[in-house]
Structure 1
């Protein structure tokens, strides 16, 4: 990808690519894309490298919890995943609708009360709370286009939907004898 593209030029290219992919997805053979992430805890540090396809993202705790600050914590990564998904969803929507964006920035905030995660207090939530995002766009958008962008993001952003309409997660433990 040429580094000289500005965001409007990128969105023009993205529109064509998204439409071509949509055409593939209309095939009777189309199926959901498999997702997978694996972690093997680093014995000496407790750091948690996450392998996703050919990518590795390092996660770790701060020193107060025995970590070394080698990467974001899992709750921070959740906010990062939401920010990234919101941004990508906004790009796809802008490309689809022909919205003129010069810049796009997402800020996601929240808080985590470790009294809950460390079982210090029973009535404190374990999950992150007060999640909020701010979508900052530089461009020429009418109030109607802003409303469409907000509505479509709420409807089409997979991570936002997973957080606001939770998907059941199943789990099990497998014991491997050394």
Structure 2
């Protein structure tokens, strides 16, 4: 496989197989799990998902060592990854040829948020925008339909646009020092 369009053919076959599994009742909901541990001395956050690991850290001005992206940066990266993957899925589904696909996400984080005089400034990333750079022989109407399909079906984009309730709890683990 040497081109993106060849990959889209592979993706099309995988989508067909998954659709067949859904229709046959073989595909069921799955629980996703991520575990995050704060490391001593550095405070880095080691994120473990399945057999993968990602390091998240802060810049030096926030007692970090800049060993990895911050959580807000990771969130933009996750959105960008999901949008890119959804563009691939929808291009394969709709038969839209893609010679190349690149996506850039930007957002504003204002570190003054919540401080006196800045109480109304969002503490979360805001003014989030994405730009997709596509090289394709497809007609503009096909690209427009592709984008509409992506925005309807991208899980993380829709999670952020229509947030879910998040339940939390704290479980105290007694230590010898307590």
TM-score in terms of structure 1 length? 0.93
Note the 1:106-125 alignment, pairs <5 A: 106-116=103-113, 119-120=115-116, 121-125=118-122
Cα offset, 1:97, TM superposition: 1.0
Among candidates 20, 39, 44, match of residue 42 of structure 1: 39
- Which digits, 9 at most, give the CA deviation of each residue in 1:49-102, with x for residues without a partner? 100000001000000000000000000000000000000000000111111100
Among candidates 112, 131, 134, match of residue 131 of structure 2: 134
CA–CA distance in structure 1, aligned partners of residues 139 and 125 of structure 2: 34
Matching residue of 1:161: 158
What secondary structure, in the 3-state scheme, does the structure 1 residue paired with 2:113 have? helix
Cα offset, 1:29, TM superposition: 4.8
What secondary structure, in the 3-state scheme, does the structure 1 residue paired with 2:130 have? strand
Cα offset, 1:28, TM superposition: 3.0
Q: What residue ranges of structure 1 are gaps of 5+ in the alignment?
A: none
- Which digits, 9 at most, give the CA deviation of each residue in 1:111-136, with x for residues without a partner? 1011126x453221111110000011
User: Does the alignment pair 1:9 with 2:34?
Assistant: no
Matching residue of 1:100: 97
Q: What residue ranges of structure 2 are gaps of 5+ in the alignment?
A: none
Q: Which has the higher mean CA deviation after the structures are superposed, 133-142 or 20-29?
A: 20-29
TM-score in terms of structure 2 length? 0.93
RMSD (CA atoms)? 1.2
